[in-house]
Amino acid sequence: MNKLIAVFIFIVVFYPLGNTHAFDFFDGRLYLRGNIHETLNIRTHEDFRDIRYSSFRTTLRLESIFKITSRPGLDVRIHALGKYYYDKALDLDSQQRHAVREEAGGRHKYRDFRRPRDMDEWLSELYLDVKWETFQIRAGKQIVSWGETAEDRVADLINPLDTKYMLGYPDWEDFKLGLWMARLFWTPKDIWQDLSFELIVIPFHFLPQRLPPGGAGLFIGQPLIPNAGYQKMFDKQRRDEPPTNLKNFEIGLRIRGYADILEGIDWAVSHFYTRTDSGLIDGDGGFGNYVNMMLGLPMKGDVYKYPFYNSTAFTFSTTWSRIKAGIRGEVAYNSNKDYQFGNFGEIKECDLLTTALTIDKSVMVPYLSRWNKNRSYYFSLTGYQYWLTNHEYNKSTGSYIYWESGKRDSSWTKFSLVVATGFWFDRIIVGGYYTYDLNGNTYVSNYVLFQPGDHWQYLAKYQQVNESGAGRYSDQVVLSIRYEFW
Amino acid sequence: MKKYKKYLLLLVTCFAMVMVVFYGFNPGDSMAGDIQYPVVCYEGDELSKVKAWEKQWVGKRIDASNIEGVQEFFPENYYKILKDKEKWGSMWFEIVPYRQMMPTPGDIKYTKQFAGKPKVGSDGNLVDYVSGTPFPNAKTAMELMYNFDNVSFGDNTLIIQDIALIDGIRKYDKRMYAPSHQVFFSNRREIPPVPEVTPNKKEIYRASHSEYFEPAGMRGSRWLSIKWIDRLRDFGGWSYSAGVRRIVRRSTAQRLDAVGGGDATGEDTTIYGWAIPAQDYKLLGRKELLVGRHQNADLLAKGHTEGIILYSGIQRERINTYVIEAIPKDPDHIYSKSIYYMDPETWWLVYSDKYDTQGELWKVFENVQSNIKSIFSDVFVPSVLFALTIDVVRTHGTVFFSPMKIGETGDKYKFGYYTPRALQKYGY
């Protein structure tokens, strides 16, 4: 209750700031901006847990930039980005509280549901940015985006995900966990194809994908593993994550260029040596420990491991004036990646080839556009194709390789479509995000965003997930109010 | 006597040949002497007539109550807006004396140096152009439009774009703030390297790098726009989104969308900000109009009331504009026709009417000019200080109030700032 009062006071203090602009200090050298975001997730169909409100979250995001020096040829700044949330759904929905208590192993897990666990989760970025002539160094905790597609990660594999933010899919930047790293950029002058080079070094910091506590919003349907089994797995995955040392060394190189052919092509090639973000049961020994873990017996060693693999990617973007569209694509080849085979801890090494091609186009829709005073509709269509090499399926045991598709097939085809337009001078934005998975699942999300002025945004979104087994239980309405202060 | 005439003729011929050898015959020099530049709007009897008229009107504050006296000096559609106080709100402007707007010394120098060389090709492209005003004594609508297309607002310019999106019905403003650094790679006139950057392998004509500070949803986003020397080539566009931290290549078809929910599309920048060959032009004649030219920026800045689209405090002087009709070649274009009014001394478009695909009036535009002093060379550069777009159908307006800093140097005027990489380098 005290926490609710604290949040309420915080909201009362910040919300009436009205036309507050950036908080500038030290003659503009330090500025602070941010937003407060209130979201409420309402399930349209209650599963056996009878949860109606799976999340009622207040999130505060703050960003600051401090300019240490800025003169010709040298610019040095510090950038910080943090987000902290408090989720009040446990106070609002007793069934949600019950689900977490039962499936996460007790009331002590309420804290995991309500707020970020540690600084890894609430501090997204804190880095020193030095620009010196043709060089640039960014050293510190950072979120990096490689690749061209925002809806699904093909070449964009640097940062792990915090799936507790999976409330308003897909806003990737909220999902990503920052990593302590150094990035070195070199942009030579007058070089062929305007080449630029980016080297990423993550010397010691490793974070696996973060998962919500058992029973929380992502969980739909009957728990497959009773007695807080999922929570044991999640907790063990965290405990088994490699310690922070140089054995976690990850390195990546990206070369970008601009080919002045056709209508000009921006391209990039990259290579990243990294670990998997999700734990794999470590062979026979790991499986044995896994069984003991579930039975409550002592374990000898780890259950999970996080093996390394290589990811090589090529991305491009260009325009095609004839059809008045933008075109972008990427190809990523993940080699020597370990996957779980079956349920008994066996590991198989496979290669994964992923391709994605996107067409972006603004279209005048007959009648609708004219009625809306020639406002176009934005479409972005992406086709994804995945191929897993060395795929295996054991008919007698039913074991197969658990890979990104979640299915037994060795290939996976998916399409996604983003649509958006604006009304009333873009005070109202209407849009949708749709995926069609040829291997089975579809996803539909429609939203209406109202932004009457410079600060406030009001969003209503309906999400429908047609996933086998989940039925309608994943469907939800998301309401959100956001206030930007800067 | 006949013998002396023969010797005289021989002597004159030799003298002429000597003159040719020693001083050369440069068609350009001869053309430079032939062209009249700078162009002056009024002189002689015409100037006297204007001065006589000014005796009656200069210094007068004009508003909706007395604007009928100068009705003939406004485009008809714009006059109706100024007159309709009920719908569009109150405004006043002042009539000031006509003064010639002088081009910069660099403009004069390179216009004369390259006079006669630029041409409009059979495909409508501008060829053999380097710097200066390509057609100082323009005869056709196309030549006039290329003069406009090659107006320089300073070789290195920071355009402080303070943008108001004004709802004239609900009487409130939304704001955008997006300062833009801009550099000319070709058509440079004052700041070295002049007259153009060499080498310029990518054949860039002009590039701009904008950073959005307001509204909140766009803060941290950056845009890069590149115009090429080949005027038939689509502009290059890239954007950086702070939210997804990614550089996205933009299709130029998106230029027909209004920016940020405003009234001006990307193509409406400076009234017409797209490829000149993309339209067919016809010179309709001349029309004397009252135009903002030597505008005092402070006066105009104080002249806005929230929710009122029209600004008070514009200082207008009488000039004899060119009237040009423009029809887009693209059958799917959002405008069926535009009428432009062009300042004959600066080549800026100063008024415009644009019609929708049904032939109905949709938008009217006004650009107000000012002489902005360059920090680099102390010259005055005629520039657009204030650009107004009015959606007459929806009673909505967008104002780009753009004080400029001309002539700065520094990292943001280095050519590396105008690459897609720079969007991410400077973005957070």
Confidence at A11, pLDDT banded by 50, 70, 90: low
Task: Say if residue B26's pLDDT is above 50.
Answer: no
CB contact under 8 A, B419 and A373: no
Task: Indicate the helix (H) or strand (E) that contains B168.
Answer: none
CB contact under 8 A, A326 and B416: no
Task: Say if residue A18's pLDDT is above 60.
Answer: no
CA-nearest residue of chain B to A128?
B428
Minimal C-alpha gap between A327 and chain B (Å): 8
Average pLDDT over every residue of A282-286: 88
Average pLDDT over every residue of B47-60: 96
Query: What distance in Å separates the CA atoms of residue B131 and residue B187, rounded to the nearest whole number?
Result: 4
CB contact under 8 A, B416 and A258: no
* Chain B residues with CB-CB distance to A484 below 8 A: 215-217, 219
Task: Say if residue A2's pLDDT is above 50.
Answer: yes
Q: Assign B416 to helix, strand or coil.
A: helix
Average pLDDT over every residue of B4-20: 65
Confidence at A345, pLDDT banded by 50, 70, 90: confident
Which pLDDT value is given to residue A242? 94
Confidence at A322, pLDDT banded by 50, 70, 90: confident
Q: Which of B202, B252, B262 sits opposite A425 (nearest CB)?
A: B262
Q: Which amino acid is at A324?
A: K
CA-nearest residue of chain B to A142?
B428
Is B342 within 8 Å of B372 (Cβ atoms)?
no
- Average per-residue pLDDT in chain A? 87
Higher local confidence (pLDDT), A150 or B59: B59
Task: Say if residue B31's pLDDT is above 70.
Answer: no
Size of interface A-B (CB pairs under 8 A): 127
**Among the ranges given (A433-442, B51-60, B330-339), the one the predictor scored with the smallest mean pLDDT:** A433-442
* Chain B residues with CB-CB distance to A143 below 8 A: 245
Confidence at A477, pLDDT banded by 50, 70, 90: very high
Minimal C-alpha gap between A443 and chain B (Å): 21
CB contact under 8 A, A196 and B234: no
Q: Which amino acid is at A91?
A: D
CB contact under 8 A, A319 and B262: no
The gap from C-alpha A234 to its chain's centroid, in whole angstroms, comes to 18
CB contact under 8 A, A258 and B420: yes
A458 — phi, psi (to 5°)? Answer: -125, 130
CB contact under 8 A, A150 and B238: no
What does the block give as tokens for A476? 């939800």
Please work out, in degrees rounded to the nearest 5, the angle formed at the alpha carbon of residue A243 by the alpha carbons of A182 and B245.
Answer: 35
CA-nearest residue of chain B to A323?
B253
Which pLDDT value is given to residue B30? 42
Task: Say if residue B2's pLDDT is above 80.
Answer: no
Task: Say if residue A449's pLDDT is above 80.
Answer: yes
CB contact under 8 A, A171 and B243: yes
Q: Which amino acid is at A468?
A: S
Confidence at B13, pLDDT banded by 50, 70, 90: low
Task: Say if residue B282's pLDDT is above 50.
Answer: yes
Give me the percent of chain B exceeding a pLDDT of 70. Answer: 93
* Chain A residues with CB-CB distance to B240 below 8 A: none
* HSE (side-chain half, CA atoms, 13 Å) at A68: 11
Concatenated DSSP letters of A163-192 = GGGTTSS--HHHHBPPEEEEEEEE--SS-G
Task: Say if residue B150's pLDDT is above 80.
Answer: yes
* Chain B residues with CB-CB distance to A317 below 8 A: 248-249
CB contact under 8 A, A33 and B217: no
B56 Cβ partners below 8 Å, 6+ apart? none
Query: What distance in Å separates the CA atoms of residue B238 and residue B421, rounded to the nearest whole number?
Result: 10
Is B361 within 8 Å of B378 (Cβ atoms)?
no
Confidence at A468, pLDDT banded by 50, 70, 90: low
Residues in A 436-475 with any Cβ partner in B closer than 8 A: 451, 453-455, 457
Q: What residue has token string 């090499």?
A: A389
Choose the mutation target among B225, B241, B245 for the interface with A, i.e. most A CBs under 10 Å: B245
Task: Say if residue A441's pLDDT is above 50.
Answer: yes
How does pLDDT run across A121-146, given as a tens digit for each residue? 999 999 999 999 999 999 999 999 89
How does pLDDT run across B351-410, given as a tens digit for each residue? 999 999 999 999 999 999 999 999 988 899 999 999 999 999 999 999 999 889 999 988
**Among the ranges given (B55-59, B145-149, B255-259, B414-418), the one the predictor scored with the smallest mean pLDDT:** B255-259
Choose the mutation target among A454, A483, A486 for the interface with B, i.e. most B CBs under 10 Å: A454
ipTM metric: 0.89
CB contact under 8 A, A454 and B428: no
CB contact under 8 A, A454 and B215: yes
Concatenated DSSP letters of A345-407 = TEEEEEEEEEEEEEEEEEE--TTHHHHTTS--EEEEEEEEEEEETT--EETTTTEEEE-TT-S
Query: What distance in Å separates the CA atoms of residue B189 and residue B406, rounded to the nearest whole number?
Result: 12
How does pLDDT run across A360-383, given as a tens digit for each residue? 999 888 888 888 888 889 999 999
Give me the percent of chain A exceeding a pLDDT of 90. Answer: 55
Higher local confidence (pLDDT), A226 or A89: A89
Is B428 within 8 Å of B242 (Cβ atoms)?
yes
CA-nearest residue of chain A to B167?
A425
Task: Say if residue B23's pLDDT is above 50.
Answer: no
Minimal C-alpha gap between B336 and chain A (Å): 12
Concatenated DSSP letters of A133-162 = TTEEEEEEEE----SS-SSS-SS--SS-BB
CB contact under 8 A, B236 and A457: no
What does the block give as tokens for A247? 């054995």
Which pLDDT value is given to residue B251? 81
CB contact under 8 A, B356 and A73: no
Choose the mutation target among A321, A374, A480 for the interface with B, i.e. most B CBs under 10 Å: A374
Using the Cβ of A187 and the Cβ atoms of chain B, whether some distance falls under 8 Å is answered with: yes
Which pLDDT value is given to residue B288? 98
**Among the ranges given (A27-36, A169-178, A348-357, A435-444), the one the predictor scored with the smallest mean pLDDT:** A169-178
CB contact under 8 A, B234 and A321: yes
Using the Cβ of A73 and the Cβ atoms of chain B, whether some distance falls under 8 Å is answered with: yes
Average pLDDT over every residue of A71-91: 93
CA-nearest residue of chain A to B418?
A194
How does pLDDT run across B184-232, given as a tens digit for each residue? 999 999 999 999 999 898 899 999 999 998 887 788 899 999 999 999 9
Confidence at A174, pLDDT banded by 50, 70, 90: confident
Task: Say if residue B272's pLDDT is above 90.
Answer: yes
Report which of B172, B260, B168, B184 is spatially closest to residue B223, judged by C-alpha positions.
Answer: B260
Is A454 within 8 Å of B173 (Cβ atoms)?
no
Task: Say if residue A20's pLDDT is above 80.
Answer: no
Which pLDDT value is given to residue A459? 94
Q: Assign B26 to helix, strand or coil.
A: coil
Which pLDDT value is given to residue B4? 66
Using the Cβ of A247 and the Cβ atoms of chain B, whether some distance falls under 8 Å is answered with: no
Number of C-beta neighbours around residue A260 at 10 A: 12
CB contact under 8 A, A148 and B246: yes
**Among the ranges given (A17-31, A210-224, B96-110, B144-158), the one the predictor scored with the smallest mean pLDDT:** A17-31
Which pLDDT value is given to residue B3? 61
Using the Cβ of A163 and the Cβ atoms of chain B, whether some distance falls under 8 Å is answered with: no
**Among the ranges given (A16-25, B59-68, B78-87, B303-312), the one the predictor scored with the smallest mean pLDDT:** A16-25
Higher local confidence (pLDDT), A20 or A117: A117
Q: Assign B72 to helix, strand or coil.
A: helix
Please work out, in degrees rounded to the nearest 5, the angle formed at the alpha carbon of residue B188 by the alpha carbons of B182 and B190.
Answer: 100
Asked, as a colleague might, if the bond just before A243 is cis with ω within 30 of 0, I would say no
CB contact under 8 A, A422 and B214: no
Query: What distance in Å separates the CA atoms of residue A272 and residue A148, rounded to the nearest whole number?
Result: 16
The single-letter DSSP state of residue A467 is: B
Beta strands in B25-105 (DSSP E): 61-63, 92-95
Which pLDDT value is given to residue B24? 46
Choose the mutation target among B251, B257, B412 for the interface with A, i.e. most A CBs under 10 Å: B251
Q: What residue has token string 């290549």?
A: B249
